Amino acid sequence: MAFELPDLPYAHDALASKGMSRETLEYHHDLHHKAYVDNGNKLIEGTEWAGKSLEEIITGTYDKSAVAQSGIFNNISQLWNHNQFWEMMSPNLVKMPGELESRLKDAFGSVDEFKSKFSAAGAGQFGSGWAWLVAEKDGTLKVTKTENGVNPLCFGQTALLGCDVWEHSYYIDFRNKRPDYLKNFLDHLVNWENVAERLSKT
């Protein structure tokens, strides 16, 4: 069974008033995300990875000693990353659930301090990649950054929140201002209920 491009969980113009335009979502979901799906399917066809889950392929093909990851890893991990990314945003302004707020305060001192660490991770990722809030196996919350398609699954962590800092994610709406894109993401776009739900499953 080939992987499919999931529909966006909202309309293409649903985030436009909050800083992520219809044009960005048309390019980012309909073209970039679709390309990862199509290329990933093509690359795994006839290999030992055909029929495996996204998670199995990602953890099975990640090479921590390699300078560059394989095409299978890059496309399948980016497919998974974007599946998560759309769910992590909402057209509504979502209030942060109390349990999540208190876990962030315990881990980072305050929600503002968490946001500032997350923004710094995203702004400090040289080249393409992602900023993440992750839960380690022992429950510790951490902010991390990864390059290209690498994601928390590679390190046995649970992804609670991820922000795509590839230029295709922000260049139409924010041009070169990646820090402004990150601030807008954290202040207006994040679906904190989705983040809390991910945390409750750890």
User: Is the Cβ of residue 169 or residue 191 nearer to Mn ion in the bound state?
Assistant: 169
Among positions 166, 170, 181, 185, the unique one binding Mn ion when judged by CB under 5 A: 166
User: Is the Cβ of residue 41 or residue 128 nearer to Mn ion in the bound state?
Assistant: 128
Check binding of 79 to Mn ion (CB under 5 A): no
Q: Least distance from C-beta 77 to Mn ion, angstroms?
A: 11
Q: How many residues does the chain have?
A: 202
Q: Least distance from C-beta 163 to Mn ion, angstroms?
A: 10
HEC assignment per residue over 106-170? HHHCCHHHHHHHHHHHHHHCCCCEEEEEEECCCCCEEEEEEECCCCHHHHCCEEEEEEECCHHHH
- Pair of tokens at residue 70: 């394989």
Q: CB nearest Mn ion: which residue?
A: 164
CA distance 24 to 173: 7
CA distance 24 to 13: 9
Stretch that binds Mn ion, among 51-59, 139-147, 167-175, 190-198 (CB under 5 A): 167-175
User: Is the Cβ of residue 144 or residue 169 nearer to Mn ion in the bound state?
Assistant: 169
Q: Least distance from C-beta 81 to Mn ion, angstroms?
A: 7
